Amino acid sequence: MNLIILGPQGSGKGTQARLLTDKLGLFYVESGGLLREAAKKDLTIDEIMNKKGQLLPDEITFKIVRDFLQKNHPEAQNLLLDGYPRSLRQYQLIRDYLSQKGTKIDKAIFLDLTDEEAVKRLSSRRICSSCGEVYNMITNPPKDPGVCDKCGGKLIQREDDKPELVHERLKLYRASTQPLVGELEKEGILININGEQPIETILGQIVEKLNNV
Rounded average pLDDT over 159-186: 84
The single residue of 86, 107, 121, 126 carrying the catalytic annotation is: 86
Q: What is the pLDDT of residues 9-54, one digit of tens each?
A: 888 888 899 999 999 999 999 998 898 888 888 888 888 887 776 7
The single residue of 13, 107, 121, 126 carrying the catalytic annotation is: 13
Rounded average pLDDT over 200-204: 95
User: Could you tell me if residue 144 is inside a domain?
Assistant: no
Question: Has 86 been annotated as catalytic?
Answer: yes
User: Could you tell me if residue 172 is inside a domain?
Assistant: yes
User: Could you tell me if residue 68 is inside a domain?
Assistant: yes
Question: Has 95 been annotated as catalytic?
Answer: no
Q: What is the pLDDT of residues 68-111, one digit of tens each?
A: 999 999 999 999 999 899 899 999 999 999 999 999 999 999 99
User: Could you tell me if residue 23 is inside a domain?
Assistant: yes
Q: What is the pLDDT of residues 54-67, one digit of tens each?
A: 778 899 999 999 99
Question: Has 125 been annotated as catalytic?
Answer: yes
User: Could you tell me if residue 82 is inside a domain?
Assistant: yes
Q: Which of 8-12, 141-145, 204-208 has the highest mean pLDDT?
A: 204-208
Structural domain span for residue 11: 3-114+165-211
- State the pLDDT confidence band at 213, using cuts at 50, 70 and 90: low
Burial of residue 103 (number of CB atoms within 10 Å: 0-12, 13-18, 19+)? middle
User: Could you tell me if residue 57 is inside a domain?
Assistant: yes
The single residue of 40, 158, 171, 174 carrying the catalytic annotation is: 158
The single residue of 40, 169, 174, 209 carrying the catalytic annotation is: 169
Question: Has 36 been annotated as catalytic?
Answer: no
pLDDT of residue 212 exceeding 90: no
Give the chain's domain count.
1
For the entire predicted model, the pTM comes to 0.78
CATH number at 75 reads 3.40.50.300
User: Could you tell me if residue 129 is inside a domain?
Assistant: no
pLDDT, residue 107, reads: 97
